[in-house]
Every structure is written in C-alpha cells, then in structure tokens.
Amino acid sequence: MKIAVLTGGGDCPGLNGAIKWVTKTALDPALERKRSIRFEVLGVREGWKGLVEVNPDDPESCAEYLLPLNEEVVRTWDRYGGTNIGTSRTNPFNPKNDRSDRLMENISRLGIDIIVAIGGEDTLGVAYKLYKRGVKTVGIPKTIDGDLLGTDYSLGFDSAVNVIMEEIDRLRTTAGSHNRIFVVETMGRHAGWLALHGGECSGAYIILIPEYPFDMNRVCDLLLERKGREVQYSIVVVSEGVKPAGEQEFYKDDKIDDFGHHSLGGIAAYIAETIEKKTGFETRYVMLSHLQRGGSPSARDRLMARWYGIAAVDTILNEDFGRMVSFSQGEITTVPLKEVVDKLKIVDVEKYYDSERYNGKRSIL
C-alpha cells in the first residue's frame, strides 16, 4: 500500500515531526508482523502542486516531486522547523484554473493508495474534495492561526505563540528604557487566537483581535489612563486582521492567492502613527511576520506531531478515511473532514475577550 504524505499552506514547526511519525509508524516492522500489512511512504514535494505537476512517465519529474521516505531519511526531522518536503498554496480545484482531473489521474498513475495531507482549512478542503471523488485521505491539522474547526490543537500554534512571547520579552527592555509604546503585529488572518494567546502570556496591556472591531479613541484613552502610573511603557498586540470599527482590513498588496486569500498586514503602522498623534506618546511598531513561523518546534509541537503522525496511521489501519486526526478534551481522536472545512474557528468574544479593556477576559469560570 502506497501512502503519499504532503504538507500544504504556510509552513511551521511541527510539520517535519508529523511526517517522521507517519513514516516511522507505517514502516514499523511490528506492523507487518502483526497485521501482514506492508506500507511504502512517499513524500510529495510542494504540497498539492507536486501531485498536480509531476509527470508519472518522466523519471526526472518523479525525482523532482517525490521523495521515498524511510526511517533513516526521517530520523532527525522532528527537531527541525519548516517542512523538509516543501509546501505551496496551490489549489487544484481553483475554479479559475481547475487541475483536479490531472491530480486524480496522477494519483492513480502513481499507484498512490492513500494520501495523508498535513495542513489547514485550505489543504484539508482539497483532501475532502478528493475523498468525495473516491480517494482515501486522512488529514493532520496544522496552522499557526489556530482557526481550524474540529480540533483543540493544530500544529505550529504553540511554537508561534512562544515566538510572540519571546519577542515581546525582548521589546520590553528597550520599550522601558525609552518610555515608548510598542505596537506588535501578529499573524492569524481572520482569527485572533495568536494575538490573544501571545498577548495574554506576555502580559500585553492592549490586545486587538479581528473578531472585535476596535475604536482608536478607546485605544488612546486606555493608554492615557496609564500616564503618571509606575509603568512607563505599554505593549499593544494587534492581529494582522483587525479592523478599525466601520473600516476594512489592511492588505499588504493587491495579490490574491489560489484559495482567494488577500495578504493581510500593515495595520500596526497605522495604529502606532495614530497613537503618537493623538496621545503624544512616542510609539514604535514591529511586525513579527514570518518570524512566527520560524525556528524549531516547541515541546508541545514535537509531542503533538508525534501523536498526530501515529494517529494518522491508526486511522489508515482502521480504514476511517475522509477524516482528520484531532485533539479534543485531552484525547487524540478523529473527526470527519466534512466538519472542518468551509468554516473557521474564530475567537468567541463573549467568552474570551474583554471588549472594555481590549484584552483577555478577567473571568474564566
């Protein structure tokens, strides 16, 4: 049985660990002994792009896009961030350039029996469409945005929150020395999880999230309230997808990707400039940008990558296709892909956000 594993969408720490554990578990000699099943594992380079563009008749093209995986190849992978098999934002079902027939044909001509897709809503959306066309697919959740439904944890989130926390720790010393306000922009697209958790664990004074359009005057009033108190500086964390009330999100440029997403970013500059103008406080801004996806995986991401990789092979053995492995109420389980695509898990403002203080809620139970 040939398993093809691929990573799609934005890279992040934890992907390599998941690939390693899919490979190690599938190729475990005990599996062959106990269940008389022999797997072969193939890493597909550059996500769905690799499976669409590979030419099964051309050995050079196969060598470019397909990497046979074994225990020796993946041995050290779990320590490293990024994805060693590459990724892309290619959408084979893009209505403007539908290449799904070619994808189906390649899957069949390459003799691929099962696809393990590691990714967020976009990548798993493709896996679900393939499943509906009869391809045996299993999903592993990954996104630093934390916005995937059907799971309490997606790979990459914890490592990204740690980057935010560490960078804010660094900023505090310079912010304090200069009595400055720092506006820190996080990623997260339309979900405020990264900003909220990153801001909460680093003690940010203000946190702005896309789920609650903010009032610039309120931000300035909150900062002015602090004037003359013992604290000489403030950290304002803003998610890239935030909107001033009644206005639009900030786009980096006019480009739209294969899944129809704009590139968000740049709101921190506007907020910093407005704060300085309205309050007179010296203000600087920092966009953490792709630093949040860099570095090596946190302990949590290494552990979850291992568990998800193992669970993906269990799901294959149980012939539970069309499902995503997931973490729910402290347990590893699976959910139908159908339930995790086409919608995002965003912050429940009522439950988690203090819309007066623009921060995490101070009542939990």
Active site residues: 145
Q: Which residue is nearest to ligand F6P (CB)?
A: 187
| Burial track 251-287 (b if 16+ CB lie within 10 A, e otherwise) | eeeeeeebbeebebbbbbebbbebbbeebebebbbbb
* Residue 39 vs 285, nearer CB to ligand F6P: 285
Residues 191-250 that bind ligand F6P (CB under 6 A): 240
* Structure tokens given for 11: 């890279």
Binding segment (CB under 6 A) for ligand F6P, from list 72-80, 137-145, 267-275, 319-327 = 137-145
Among 293, 306, 323, 345, binds ligand F6P (CB under 6 A): 293
- Report the nearest approach of ligand F6P to the CB of residue 305 (Å): 17
Applying CB under 6 A, does 15 fall inside the site for ligand F6P? no
**Count of residues of this chain found to bind ligand F6P when the rule CB under 6 A is applied:** 11
Nearer to ligand F6P, 259 or 308 (CB): 259
Output the six-digit token pair for 164. 């935010």
Distance CA(209)–CA(347), nearest Å, equals 8
Q: Chain centroid to CA 25: how far?
A: 24
Closest CB to ligand F6P among residues 114, 183: 183
The answer to the question of residue 145 lying near ligand F6P (CB under 6 A) is: yes
Examine residue 264 and tell whether it contacts ligand F6P (CB under 6 A). yes
Measured between alpha carbons, how far is residue 318 from residues 30, 270, 314, 334 in Å? 16, 52, 6, 11
Nearest distance, CB of residue 107 and ligand F6P, angstroms: 26
Q: Interior CA angle at 97 toward 93 and 99, to 5°?
A: 55
CB of 264 to ligand F6P, least distance (A): 5
Short-list 304, 315, 302, 352, CA closest to 154: 304
Q: How far is Cα 17 from Cα 228, in angstroms, rounded to an integer?
A: 49
24 or 293: CB nearest ligand F6P = 293
**Region of 64-72, 100-108, 140-148, 226-234 interacting with ligand F6P (CB under 6 A):** 140-148
Please state the length of the chain.
365
Q: Please report, as residue ranges, which positions from 21 to 40 form the binding site for ligand F6P (by CB under 6 A).
A: none
**216 neighbors 183 (Cβ within 8 angstroms):** no
Asked whether position 52 contacts ligand F6P by CB under 6 A, the answer is no
Q: Which residues does 37 contact at the CB level (< 8 Å), separation at least 6?
A: 1, 31, 317
Beta carbons within 8 Å of 141's beta carbon, 6+ residues apart: 120, 124, 148, 150, 151, 153, 154, 155, 308, 324, 325, 326, 340
Piece of the chain touching ligand F6P by CB under 6 A; list 13-21, 77-85, 139-147, 324-332: 139-147
CB of 52 to ligand F6P, least distance (A): 18
Cβ distance 106 to 42 under 8 Å? Answer: no
Rank residues 140 and 144 by Cβ distance to ligand F6P and give the closer one.
Answer: 144
Per DSSP, which regions of 123-213 are E strands?
136-141, 181-186, 206-208
Residues 180-199 that bind ligand F6P (CB under 6 A): 187-189
Is residue 144 a contact residue for ligand F6P (CB under 6 A)? yes
Structure tokens at 179: 């009595």
Among 23, 123, 143, 151, binds ligand F6P (CB under 6 A): 143
Q: State the minimum distance, in angstroms, from the CB of residue 187 to ligand F6P.
A: 3
CB closer to ligand F6P out of 39 and 308: 308
Please give the residue ranges that form the binding site for ligand F6P (CB under 6 A).
Answer: 10, 143-145, 187-189, 240, 263-264, 293
